[in-house]
Structure 1
Amino acid sequence: MKSPSGARRPKAGRRGGLGQGGRRGCGPRIGRIANPGGCSGAVGSAIKRTERVDSVLPGNRVASGSQTIRSETSGKLEEAMSEKIGFVGVGRMGANMARCLHDKKFNVTAVYDVRAESARELAPEIGATACSTLAQVSELADIIFTVVTDDKAQLAVFESPEDNLLKGKPAGKIFINCATVSPKVHVEVEKLVEQVGASSLEGCMASSIPQAREGKLYLMVGGKEAVFQKVKPILEALSVALTYVGGAGKAAQVKALVNMVMNINTLALAEGLGLGHALGLDLNMLRNVFSQTGAASRVLQTDGEDMQNREHSCFFSAEHAAKDSGIALALAREIGLHLALADATKCQYDRLVKLGCGQLDKSAISELTFLDRRAREVPL
């Protein structure tokens, strides 16, 4: 969707680490993906929102005690800005997070990507070293963000026998893992890093590329709270909202639910617009009605016009929508809960992937709901 200035409006859930996409069988106007880089009942009581409002009395007088708090905060920020920061996975999200911290005068010293050219392109821009190995990242940085694609990739950066972040001298390092992966993977990573005297957090993101660049991410953090407090100034620099959820795996549970609901909403919108089109309704009118009634949603704002216009340039891929819905369904199966809508949504995204459209945006699910596209086809 275009903004009045002509710039593309950010879609919900845009993220990095995706591969290059194609257009096979998905219609003539579908956009192509740009070059890439990549809860349980206990949660409610554990959630803590980070507030950033200064306590000020009328007349702009600082409330009693605020000066001490502000001094302590300033000291923590100065300490955080002296830390050496590394990034593993500098695709669309990771690279823009690194740029954001560099712009805010944090010390980004090391970048790495499986696509070595991505690291080489970014490094001179932010004054960092383009590392050839994961072990080198750990040598050059104290706090390391990982922004990878899936469970396998997340575990590999910590336990691959050829090269991993725990080789060398990892003691004292803090790893902040931002990928949407299974909660059990975050639990396993925490065990792995603690065995060598390091620490880890999950820093789950519910935002898009422009927010990564501008330091306006929505971050959900899981892991030990003491570790969270150490890196909080860095996370605050990257975010507009920061929520500490609880222990390892808990933030990943919340993120799985966020994406599950988002994906269900996306399919529901695609079906509504597809049926409206089949009935001969004006879709501009229909979207306007949706926006003012119970059919309103964030997805309507970000994806509605794109579904109508078949504009599926990738902000959050159909392939990742399928993966993330699968994570939520796996959690449900573990506790014996059947989620009919989540299951149906995953089936449709799996179908889209099989049709060769997995690297298109999640809005491409509408290709399966419009009669003049592929809705008449028998599912594979």
Structure 2
Amino acid sequence: MAQSAFRIGIVGIGRMGANMARRLHDLHYAIVAVYDTDTERAKALAKELACTAVTTPARVAELADTVLTVVSDDAAMRHIYSPAGADSLLRHAAHRLFINCATLSPELQQEVHALVEQQGGRSLEACMASSITQARQGTLYLMCGGRPEAFERAKPLLQDLSAHLRYIGPAGEAAKVKALVNMVMNANTAALAEGLGLGAALGLDLTMLREVFSQTGANSRVLETDGEDMQQRAHDCYFSAAHAAKDSGIACALAKQAGLDLPLANATYKQYRRLIDIGKGELDKSAVAELTFKDRSNH
């Protein structure tokens, strides 16, 4: 399928959604409508992309045949897919393809999948293990769940958004994998913050310590992405502490359902909840270091 085979609408144009839209616009896909609860944000992006800023999710689905949703959490997702809502995407679900990119609970992905199919549409989860830069460059890591035919229909578009594209299985399966990815990432981030915090308390040179970490078994992807930011207290947001808490919470809930005790995951979740409680939830996840350095006043 060529770009011309898609008429795309996007619901949720925060940092990730807006940059995915820009990427698709660069590749000459037809972006026909955008919606966001922040109406001024939607108007600004619509002007940039020469499309329509609409006032309801339902209008997005009315104008588009393919709808990408990039919303913040389960509550936001339930709202835009409300069976009873006059503004719901479900009002115009027939013959549409919905690609849901947010990190949500597997149960909700399955629920949305069923609701859309009841209305004659198709639903695919496309969970993103990447950040803002990758969204803009079209190098996302995408894990997909849903019916194989929905994946095949979406595949040309998703290939243009991603460097790595995987079909995981039925609805909800990709959401499980994404929850585990972020659970491990968040635990690594919290552990790195403790290592650097202790290093600082011991009077060690943190630049030297990060270099040693990178050359030994302490190396990790988050050392590369977050280590210098933790040292410099540079917490501009690429992936927020609030999102880290949400995603670790999803994983902890899955563990509870499976009858497993995951003390590291639970401790990590509590650290990110602490950041939210002290008003730092919108900082980057690297801000967990603010809880581990002795000379930082957030205890």
TM-score (norm 2): 0.97
Deviation at 1:255?
0.4
1:337 to 239, 255, 260: 260
Counterpart of 2:88? 164
Matched letter for residue 245 of structure 2: A
Matched letter for residue 110 of structure 2: V
Counterpart of 1:46? none
Deviation at 1:155?
1.3
Deviation at 1:122?
0.8
Deviation at 1:191?
0.8
1:307 to 224, 230, 236: 230
Matched letter for residue 110 of structure 1: A
Deviation at 1:374?
4.0
| Secondary structure in structure 2 of the residue aligned to 1:240 | strand
Matched letter for residue 171 of structure 1: A
Counterpart of 1:119? 42
List gaps (5 residues or longer) in structure 2: none
CA distance in 2, matches of 1:360, 1:213: 20
Tell whether 2:211 aligns with 1:288: yes
Tell whether 2:175 aligns with 1:246: no
Deviation at 1:119?
1.2
Q: CA offsets per residue over residues 28-58 of structure 1, 9 Å max, x none?
A: xxxxxxxxxxxxxxxxxxxxxxxxxxxxxxx
CA distance in 1, matches of 2:156, 2:247: 29
Deviation at 1:214?
1.1
1:214 to 120, 129, 137: 137
Matched letter for residue 203 of structure 2: G
Counterpart of 1:136? 59
Counterpart of 2:20? 97
Q: CA offsets per residue over residues 177-235 of structure 1, 9 Å max, x none?
A: 01111010000001111111011010100111111111111100000011100110000
2:105 to 182, 188, 206: 182
Q: State the aligned residue count.
A: 298
CA distance in 1, matches of 2:270, 2:6: 45
Tell whether 2:118 aligns with 1:195: yes
Matched letter for residue 164 of structure 1: S
1:88 to 4, 7, 11: 11
CA distance in 2, matches of 1:367, 1:95: 29
Higher helix share: 2
CA distance in 2, matches of 1:170, 1:299: 39
Tell whether 2:188 aligns with 1:260: no
CA distance in 2, matches of 1:374, 1:307: 15
Deviation at 1:161?
1.9
Counterpart of 1:43? none
Matched letter for residue 144 of structure 1: V
Deviation at 1:124?
2.1
CA distance in 1, matches of 2:297, 2:143: 37
Higher radius of gyration, 1 or 2: 1
List gaps (5 residues or longer) in structure 1: 1-75
| Secondary structure in structure 2 of the residue aligned to 1:304 | helix
Q: CA offsets per residue over residues 3-49 of structure 1, 9 Å max, x none?
A: xxxxxxxxxxxxxxxxxxxxxxxxxxxxxxxxxxxxxxxxxxxxxxx
Deviation >6 Å, runs of 4+: none
CA distance in 1, matches of 2:219, 2:77: 35
Deviation at 1:344?
0.6
Matches within 5 A, 1:331-370: 331-370=254-293
Deviation at 1:236?
0.3
